């Protein structure tokens, strides 16, 4: 092969490799993106029915209950405007508490309950998961009337 031809072969092979890699990455990316929805959006049926997604907000005070004899828990997630019932089977993270922020990943069941496969509440206790905070802020912006004292009441219930 002449050096010129060889260079073209190299460049061609490189382009094919890059195209293959891009296809792989982008298809994996598209099928594994997890979108986030607030309880208000779930309430308004904006969340997908078939695909997993994330939901975030505060764990409603007094809503945590255990199914006797199992590791299944039920609780409600609220953004102070709407609440969504959630079930989860397994160990809850250390920072999971009523009235604190939480993010759960899972899918909506036919019963209108969010079936969580993963419950995230991480790092320090002052830290609010960004999604949970965004959900509450969005709800506030919508109603415009929700003041901090009423948020405290929502926590204390």
Partner 1 sequence: MIPELGHFALIVALLVAIIQSVLPMIGAARRDRALMGVAVTAARAQFGLVALAFGCLAWSFATSDFSVANVAANSNTHLPLHFRLAATWGSHEGSLLLWSTMLAGWGFAVTVFSRNLPQVLRARVLAVLGMIAIGFLLFLLTTSDPFTRLFPAPPEGRDLNSLLQDPGMVAHPPMLYMGYVGFSVAFAFAIAALIGGRLDAAWARWSRPWTTVAWSFLTVGIALGSVWAYYTLGWGGWWFWDPVENASFMPWLAGTALIHSLAVTEKRGAFRSWTVLLAIVAFSLSLIGTFLVRSGVLTSVHAFAIDPARGLYILAFLAIVIGGSLALYAVRAGAVGAGGDFAPVSRESLLLGNNVLLVVALVSVLLGTLYPLFVDALAAGKISVGPPYFNTVFYPLMAPLLFLVGVGPVAAWRRAPIPELWTRLRWAAGIAVVTAALVPVAMGRWKPLVALGMLLSAWIAAATLSSLVHRLRHAPQRGLTAKLRANAPAWYGMLLAHLGVAVFVAGVTLVKGYEVERDVRLDVGQSVVVAGDTYTFRGVAAVPGPNYDAIVATIDMTRADRHVTTLHPQKRTFRSSGQVITEASIERGIGGDHYVSLGEPITGSGASGAWAVRIYVKPFVDWIWGGCLLMALGGFAAVADRRYRLARARHSEPAAALVAPT
Q: How distant, in Å, are the alpha carbons of 52, 57, 147 from that of 151? A: 29, 12, 7
Structure token digits, residue 41: 């959006």
Q: How far is the CB of 127 from partner 1 (least distance, A)?
A: 7
Of residues 97 through 136, those in contact with partner 1 by CB under 8 A are 105, 123-125, 127, 130-131, 133-134
When asked if residue 95 is in the footprint of partner 1 (CB under 8 A), the reply is yes
Residues 48-67, one symbol each (x = binds partner 1 by CB under 8 A, - = not), give ------x-----------x-
Q: How far is the CB of 5 from partner 1 (least distance, A)?
A: 12
When asked if residue 15 is in the footprint of partner 1 (CB under 8 A), the reply is no
When asked if residue 141 is in the footprint of partner 1 (CB under 8 A), the reply is no
Residues near 88 by beta carbon (within 8 Å), at least 6 away in sequence: 72, 73, 75, 104, 106, 115, 116, 117, 119
Helix (H, G, I), strand (E, B) or coil at 30: helix
């Amino acid at each position: 092969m002449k050096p010129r031809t060889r260079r073209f072969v190299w460049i061609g092979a490189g382009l094919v490799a890059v195209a293959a890699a891009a296809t792989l990455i982008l298809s994996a990316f598209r099928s594994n993106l997890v979108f986030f929805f607030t309880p208000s959006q779930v309430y308004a049926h904006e969340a997908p029915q078939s695909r997993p997604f994330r939901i975030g907000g505060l764990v409603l005070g007094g809503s945590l209950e255990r199914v006797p004899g199992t590791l299944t828990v039920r609780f409600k997630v609220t953004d102070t405007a709407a609440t969504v019932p959630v079930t989860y089977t397994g160990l809850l993270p250390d920072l999971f508490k009523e009235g604190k922020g939480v993010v759960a990943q899972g899918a909506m069941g036919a019963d209108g309950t969010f079936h969580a496969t993963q419950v995230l509440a991480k790092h320090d206790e002052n830290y609010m998961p960004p999604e949970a905070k965004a959900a509450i802020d969005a709800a506030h912006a919508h109603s415009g009337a929700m003041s901090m004292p009423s948020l405290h009441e929502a926590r204390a219930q």
